[in-house]
Amino acid sequence: MRIFLAGAAGVVGRRLTPVLVLMRHEVTGTARVADKAGSIEAMCARPVVVDVFDADALKAAVVAARPEIVVHQLTDLPSAPGTPGYEDGQRRNVRLRREGTRNLMDAARAAGVSRVIAQSIAFAYAPGKTPHHESDPLDVDAEGIRRETVGGVKALEEAVLGAAGITGVVLRFGYFYGPGTWNATATKPPSIHIDGAAHATLLALDRGPAGIYNIAEDDGAVSIVKARAQLCFDPAIRLEN
């Protein structure tokens, strides 16, 4: 299967790409800058350096790759919470979720892609009874940077799920922990080991109808019943290093 993995050099992409290659998928992975292309090539994927805000260049890259599936793992979060630059990073991430996602979906349509799997977050729900289900409202009335973040999440999900002719699958991940993340162990719910997130993405390549799925550990914050039933998701899965 030909897969266009946007964000292959990111935290999920680095765990996911080698597994896709081992499963004999043909993977084209994106990097924002040329010095990240080598890491993608080292995983035996085909690197392409492209700015997702350059709609024409992104469309050309996706069309050239002729993918059957697009996987959206684009983020821009270089700084951990509570560190300098964190809020600026959040705002860049909001732009990425809004404009980058729109450009990626336009490119997917131009390439005739039938399925898109996109990363979202499971900690954007409005306050209320837990565990949160996928149908629960997002916290769109929040204040400050959280309001901007949730607005970006909402825009991303609407773009992926509303694309005509494309089966859109949104994976709402908990807070990451594990190799390559900011945390070695789970810090707060909802959490998900980075390997659980990568494996859920792998499962979604050919399982599950269009829609939203909570991808987290069974820690009471969000319900993962839907992901277990329709994706065969198991948060305890770990990948070999």
Q: Collect all residues with Cβ–Cβ distance below 8 Å to 85 and sequence separation of at least 6.
A: 78, 79
Interval 56-94: pLDDT, tens: 999 999 999 999 999 999 998 776 777 777 788 889 999
Per-residue pLDDT, 241: 59
User: What pLDDT sits at residue 76?
Assistant: 85
pLDDT digits (tens, 9 = 90+) for 133-187: 999 999 999 999 999 999 999 999 999 999 999 999 999 999 999 999 999 999 9
